[in-house]
Amino acid sequence: MTHSIKGVLLDFGGVIWDMRWDVCRELEQANGLPRAALFETLYRSPAWEALQRGRGEREAWLEDAHRLLEARAGRTLPRLHATWTSAQHVMADTVALVRALRPTYRIAILSNSDASLKHRLRDALGISDLFDAVVCSAEAGVAKPDPEIYRLAARRLDLPPEACVFVDDHEPNVAAAEQVGMRGIHFRVDRGHDLKSMLEALGVRGA
């Protein structure tokens, strides 16, 4: 049985939030760091693996990331992670797309993130009302690509996985969504992808 798409699940970082990979690369080059050093020390560490599952403290994770970066560089560095994240911002095109889809589809965020995500969406960004559900890995205690978090997100929308499409900038997370029956879109704004067109190819169109 083929289900029509009734729910749209969006990753936060890279889909709603512009990660500004160009700034990341510029900082690495300017400071003589290997490519991906900023990303890896921030998001490929044991501290982040714990934090995104609800264990540990955000400030301790950031301090750990800075220590890892300095160890990789072999010298003292300015707070490059903070410089990078301060350049990041909401993607206006994605927010506009969510507004257009909302009358017809149930919309959720499904993100590997620390527990501050919901507060950021509501207080700092003012867009929490655009989403029918926000599934944060730190609150769920499980992170993508674990199949359970995709099933949980579908349940939060009161839909079967087969009636959902999931959008993420990390291909293994998309593949995991497809394994539980969702349609998947691997979206990379830094490669010039057009999310509106990619959704329309699956029959998902705004009002």
155 in the same domain as 53: no
Give the mean model confidence (pLDDT) for residues 88-104.
Answer: 96
Residue 198 has pLDDT above 70, yes or no: yes
196 in the same domain as 120: yes
Q: Is residue 172 part of a domain?
A: yes
Which residue, 86, 112, 127, sits at the end of a domain? 86
Q: Which residues does residue 106 pair with via DSSP β-bridges, in sequence order? A: 7
Within 13 Å and on the Cβ side, how many CA atoms surround 28?
A: 17
Give the separation between CA 13 and CA 177, rounded to whole angstroms. Answer: 17
Tally of domains within the chain: 2
How many other CB atoms are there within 10 angstroms of residue 4's CB atom? 9
Query: Which domain CATH number covers 184?
Result: 3.40.50.1000
pLDDT per residue over 148-185, tens digit each? 999 999 999 999 999 999 999 999 999 999 999 999 99
Asked if 140 contacts 151 with a C-beta cutoff of 8 angstroms, the reply is no
185 in the same domain as 97: yes
Of how many residues is the chain composed? 207
116 in the same domain as 14: yes
Which residue, 56, 86, 116, sits at the end of a domain? 86
Q: Is residue 178 part of a domain?
A: yes
Work out the mean pLDDT of the chain and round it to a whole number. Answer: 96
Tokens of 206: 């705004």
Give the separation between CA 83 and CA 13, rounded to whole angstroms. Answer: 17
Closest by Cα among 193, 201, 203 to 94: 193
- The whole-number pLDDT of residue 2 equals 55
63 in the same domain as 25: yes
Residue 120 has pLDDT above 80, yes or no: yes
pLDDT per residue over 36-57, tens digit each? 999 999 999 999 999 999 999 9
Residue 73: domain span? 21-86
Q: Is 105 exposed, middle or buried (0-12, 13-18, 19+ CB in 10 A)?
A: buried
42 in the same domain as 96: no
